[in-house]
Structure 1
């Protein structure tokens, strides 16, 4: 048996699979986010430990025999978070999360240093880890002076599980400290932020062993044999392993809290000026590119609160039959945007409202706005040398047939819907746990699921979606000009 642990922003999920990769059971535990100031987003790492104990404890209660047979654990987690420990391993402050934009000034300053783009292959985004540590140095110098280790969120979970300070390539590529081509920390970039290699975890590949479960935790959960913990992956790379998106040109679109257009690569293809992320993949000798939008299903959740309806009710109200875009355009920049704008200050907007703009029209505009933001990502990937012929859909938003039709038509790409099953980050993490425990062939383990159905672009609406997309593109600079920085 193999256990995947996915540390998400809103919950931790534990998934148990067998040797045949059949999902035996899963359990989760909720997490909350603190927003003490505008643009801030934090979590207490102790809550991750509590959530892990709850989720795995539920599996132990319901499936004690299967959990006893676990031989490998894989880890996945939300990326970029700055988890700061002292030399004794104590947490010094709440973790600054991926969607925290307080360090936008520091990010711009680091990005002005040409070494960062040249070595990491990426823009220094405000959400990345390095600018957060620069912010801490400026604003919390007493904490910065005590830094013993800087860990990414899933790697703090690993530290609790194993006692080891270890990370892996895919997650570390999102720190702005990794030499992405060499798959190693850059001493030069660490020094530029007044840190050193000694304050970073050791690095392994995602499918390699990255520690052994502590005997006390193994006993608590009834695990009877030695249990290795895999290097694991950042959440998007873990999802790619779960979806079998590991071969060159394979791609998926994720409609989760954030939105991602992810493409696997057999070589390193950086183009930082496009705001495309060029990261190491979780498997040795592979990389990936992705465009990222900061608000995907979060936009519909936000609109649902305003309308006092659930997202499911809003989705049901618009039906399944795709309509041509109307006069209302929505910009989904509720917490800034990454690809292609790298703009922490931009905010969302409805444009073109009129008396006849009813709730369904505005719901469709929200879905179309996310679809057009993903089209921006597709154009950025193309500029970085990646052409896609089809994509697979994952994430909660993919349950809306209308939304998938809008995305397929906006991107002019067919979207495959996997057969029933959970192939997300927890499943990918479990696969990595299997690889670490067995030494298996990554390509033989990380296979794609069967396709249940394909959503094709609707040619009847292609011209209308293209016209609406061009209108969408023109609105960013207009809104940016009046956005308060």
Structure 2
């Protein structure tokens, strides 16, 4: 048996698989986000530990014998968070999360230093870890002076599990301190934020052993002490391992709270000007690129809240057949945007509204707006040298066939729907735990699920969607000009 632990923003999931990669069971515990000021987003790392214990306790209650047979554990987690420990390994302040934008000024300052884009292959985004530490230095100098270790969220769970300060390449690539091409910490980038390598965790590949389970936790859970903990992965790379998106040219589109267009690469292909993320993958000698939109299903959830209708009810009003764009456009920038604009200040909008603009028309515009945001990411990936011929859909929003038809037509590539199953980040983490424990071939383990159906672009609406996309593209500079 192998255990995957996924630390999400809204909860922890514990997933148990057997040696044949069949899912045996899972446990879950919820988490809350603290927003003490506008633009702030924090969590208490102690809450992650409590949630993890709750999820594992639920799994143990349902599957005690199977849990006792666990031979390896893998970790996944939300990226970019700044978890700060002092010399006694005590947490110094709440973790500043990936969607926290307070460090936008510090990010701009670091990004103006050409070494960052050159060595990391990425823009320094406000959500990344390095500008968060620069913010702490500027605004909480007493805290900064005590920082002995900086850990990413899942690696704080690793510290709790093993007592080790360790990380891996895919998550660390999102800090703005990793030399992504060489897969090692950059002393000069750390120095640019008044830090050094002693304050960083040691690095392994995601498929390698990164610590062993402490005896006291093993005793509590009824498992063997010393079980290897895999390096693991950041959440998107872990999802890619779960989906089998590990070979060059393989790609998925993720319709979650945020949206991701993810492509695996066999080589390092940075193009920071495109605002595409170029990160190390969880597998050795592999990289990945992804375009990121900040409000995917969050856009539909917002409309659901203001309309008083459930998201499923809204999409059901559209029917099954894809409709031509109505002329109403929606920019899904409810909390800013990453790809292709790197703009934390821009906000969303509807344009083209008229008396006849019904609730269904607004829903259609929201789904199309997210689809066109994915098209922006596709174009950005093209400029970075990556051409996609098809994608696999994952995430809660992928349950809407209408939305998938809109995405396929906007991207002009087929969208594959995987057969029913749990192929997310927790499953990918469990696969990495299996590899670390057994030494299995990563490519043999991280295979793709069977395809249940494929949605082709609607050839009859291709031209209408192309025109609507051009209208969409023209809106950002216009909105920016009147809101800057």
- The match for 1:104 is 104
2: distance between equivalents of 1:158 and 1:267? 29
CA contact (8 A) 2:150 2:199 kept: yes
- The match for 1:31 is 31
2: distance between equivalents of 1:222 and 1:158? 19
Deviations 1:133-160 (A, max 9, x none): 0001011111101101111110011111
CA contact (8 A) 1:25 1:59 kept: yes
- The ranges of structure 1 where at least 4 consecutive aligned residues each deviate by more than 2 angstroms after the TM superposition are none
1: distance between equivalents of 2:6 and 2:256? 14
User: Secondary structure, in 3 states, of the residue corresponding to 1:440?
Assistant: coil
1: distance between equivalents of 2:23 and 2:236? 20
Confirm whether residue 355 of structure 1 aligns to residue 393 of structure 2.
no
Q: Report the alpha carbon displacement of residue 114 of structure 1 after superposing the two structures with TM.
A: 0.2
Confirm whether residue 340 of structure 1 aligns to residue 354 of structure 2.
no
Deviations 1:232-268 (A, max 9, x none): 0000000000000001100000000110000000000
CA contact (8 A) 1:69 1:225 kept: no
- The match for 1:283 is 283
Confirm whether residue 241 of structure 1 aligns to residue 241 of structure 2.
yes
1:14-29 matches, cutoff 5 A: 14-29=14-29
1: distance between equivalents of 2:84 and 2:225? 32
CA contact (8 A) 1:71 1:225 kept: no
- The match for 2:189 is 189
Confirm whether residue 421 of structure 1 aligns to residue 421 of structure 2.
yes
- The match for 1:392 is 392
- The match for 1:207 is 207
2: distance between equivalents of 1:434 and 1:418? 22
CA contact (8 A) 1:71 1:226 kept: no
2: distance between equivalents of 1:216 and 1:455? 50
Name the TM-score, length of structure 2 as normaliser.
0.99
User: Secondary structure, in 3 states, of the residue corresponding to 1:318?
Assistant: coil
Q: Which 10-residue stretch deviates more, 311-320 or 69-78?
A: 311-320
User: Secondary structure, in 3 states, of the residue corresponding to 1:422?
Assistant: coil
User: Secondary structure, in 3 states, of the residue corresponding to 2:357?
Assistant: coil
In structure 2, stretches of 5+ residues that fail to align are none
2: distance between equivalents of 1:107 and 1:19? 44
Q: Report the alpha carbon displacement of residue 219 of structure 1 after superposing the two structures with TM.
A: 1.0
Q: Report the alpha carbon displacement of residue 319 of structure 1 after superposing the two structures with TM.
A: 2.1
2: distance between equivalents of 1:156 and 1:318? 44
Confirm whether residue 178 of structure 1 aligns to residue 160 of structure 2.
no
Confirm whether residue 162 of structure 1 aligns to residue 162 of structure 2.
yes
CA contact (8 A) 1:254 1:395 kept: yes
1: distance between equivalents of 2:29 and 2:317? 30
Name the TM-score, length of structure 1 as normaliser.
0.99
2: distance between equivalents of 1:459 and 1:11? 40
2: distance between equivalents of 1:318 and 1:139? 49
2: distance between equivalents of 1:193 and 1:226? 36
CA contact (8 A) 1:267 1:286 kept: yes
- The match for 2:63 is 63
CA contact (8 A) 2:398 2:404 kept: yes
- The match for 1:144 is 144
Report how many residues are paired.
484
1: distance between equivalents of 2:4 and 2:465? 40
Q: Report the alpha carbon displacement of residue 38 of structure 1 after superposing the two structures with TM.
A: 1.2
Q: Report the alpha carbon displacement of residue 429 of structure 1 after superposing the two structures with TM.
A: 0.3
